[in-house]
Chains A and B, each alone.
Chain A
Amino acid sequence: MPEVPSPSHGFPGRLLVFEGLDGSGKSTQAALLGKWLQSKGYRVFFTEWNSSELVSSTIRRGKKKGLLTPTTFSLLHAVDFADRFERKILPPLRAGYLVVCDRYAYTAFVRDAARGCDPAWVRMIYSFAPRPDRVFYFRVPVAVTLKRKLASRLKMNYYEAGMDLGLSDDLVESYQRFQGRLKREYDRLSTVDDFRVVDATRPVEAIQAELRADLKPLLAKFPTGTRLMHDG
């Protein structure tokens, strides 16, 4: 079974996606970009992975009890994403918004592949999710994200470190190896899915300037909120 990218959406809105490892700085960049777009008068809708309430309690419970296998892990996250897509992404996209997604189906593609699921199967599961108008991939060495992670003193969680895969008994060691798998998968997808690869080791301002410049052509003919709500 080949990996087939989904077709485009054909709705009046535009779908802008931010992908990358934890600690790659994509959330910061997505928020800054959202601010800028709003200041330009565009109608912007911002959404992030796991904001859906539906199965997050199940996922949390399952994770805590170690009940999840790669397949159930994958399917429950797909439920979560499908619900989010249906409620949060599709309506503003159809209504003509710029929809900014902090993580999209690609997060599932890389994570599930790293857990041993068949990549073509995972892609098929998410075939309801259309191809975005732009995917920014924040590419960064694992060592950099690890340094940021340790410096921020955020707790490193079990699944984020891929501890369920038994790669290593040591949390940090497991984290590095698992995140390395994710990065290799992101790198592989960047050609398959035509990602805009952003060197995320640079300063915040430089990256943000690059994103804004990149989106100019895409936004050239896109209507602002005023033009959507009022004639003349």
Chain B
Amino acid sequence: MTDRTYGTRLPGMPEEDLIGKLIVVEGADGSGRTTEVALLREWLEVEGHAVVDTGLRRSDLVSEEIDRAKQGHTLASTTMALLYAADFADQLENKIIPALAAGSTVLADRYIYTLMARAIARGASREYARQLYGFAVRPDLVIFLDARPEILLHRSIGKYGSLDYWESGMDLCLSRDLFESFFLYQALLSKEFDWMVHEYGFQNVDANRMPEQVHADVQRRVAPLYGARPAPPRRSPRTT
């Protein structure tokens, strides 16, 4: 059975239907993703849905190795991409799929797409990244929080007091200057997300706005998953 995944059979997939909903929120660091995930969770629970949230790099299996690799144990890009894929697979099989099978809504703060974009920015081909994650369960909805690089920059500095080494892609040696590297790296990621918006049918949400505006927009897109009639859009979803 490969129709529930992106094309690759996952050994051990339960026979029964995955009756829960898988909702993914994607977006760069500083796009307001974490805020939106918290608001969305609150709202879904108030509506009476059991919610399990999940993010990247939270599994017990290899997170230690990933931390160690980040602390200067330099790994080649393919090795690193596979390590992240192993970590994702562990969460998918031990957390996401059981929750979906039990009928919970799984709210994913980032999913394979961020991992793919990072791997591609570090030299993997799109085809390799796409097929590597072929075993991932297809989400019911992918919300992409789209924000301009300047806005991401200000929010990142607001959050960390500076720019984060990894979110600036300093390991890619694009530039020795942190600010310049940040823009170059975000542009690389953004190019991959643009491709994925079409390839994977993302719903693009303008994340340059205030959190409550973003949330209202997201709610409007999530509601139909639970049988509610969608409210008419108040404005165009994308304003770039």
**A interface residue numbers (CB < 8 A to B):** 1, 54-55, 58, 62, 67, 69-72, 75-76, 78-79, 82-83, 86, 115-118, 121, 124-125, 127-128
Q: Measured between alpha carbons, how far is A70 from B82 in the docked complex, in Å? A: 15
Q: Assuming A1-B7, A69-B12, is B134 touching A121 (CB within 8 A)?
A: yes
A125 partner, pick from B83, B90, B132, beta carbons under 8 A: B132
Within the complex, the shortest CB–CB distance from B136 to chain A, in Å, comes to 10
Q: Assuming A58-B61, A121-B135, A125-B132, is B11 touching A75 (CB within 8 A)?
A: no
Contacting pair A124 B78 (CB below 8 A)? no
Write the chain A residue with the least CB distance to B86.
A75
Contacting pair B78 A62 (CB below 8 A)? no
Residues from 122 to 165 in B contacting A, C-beta threshold 8 Å: 128, 131-132, 134-135
1/0 per residue, CB under 8 A from A, across B67-105: the answer is 000000101101100110110011001000000000000
**B interface residue numbers (CB < 8 A to A):** 7-12, 60-62, 64-65, 73, 75-76, 78-79, 82-83, 85-86, 89-90, 93, 128, 131-132, 134-135
Q: Assuming A76-B62, A82-B79, is B132 touching A124 (CB within 8 A)?
A: yes
Contacting pair B89 A69 (CB below 8 A)? yes
Instruction: Supply 14 A–B pairs (Cβ within 8 Å), ascending by A.
Output: A1-B7, A54-B75, A67-B60, A69-B11, A69-B90, A69-B93, A75-B86, A86-B76, A116-B9, A116-B11, A118-B8, A118-B9, A121-B9, A121-B134
Contacting pair A58 B128 (CB below 8 A)? no
Q: Measured between alpha carbons, how far is A117 from B99 in the docked complex, in Å? A: 22
Within the complex, the shortest CB–CB distance from B221 to chain A, in Å, comes to 31
A55 partner, pick from B11, B76, B83, B132, beta carbons under 8 A: B83
Write the chain A residue with the least CB distance to B73.
A54
Instruction: Please indicate the chain B residues that have their CB under 8 angstroms from the CB of A54 in the complex.
Output: 65, 73, 75, 79
Q: Measured between alpha carbons, how far is A115 from B11 in the docked complex, in Å? A: 8
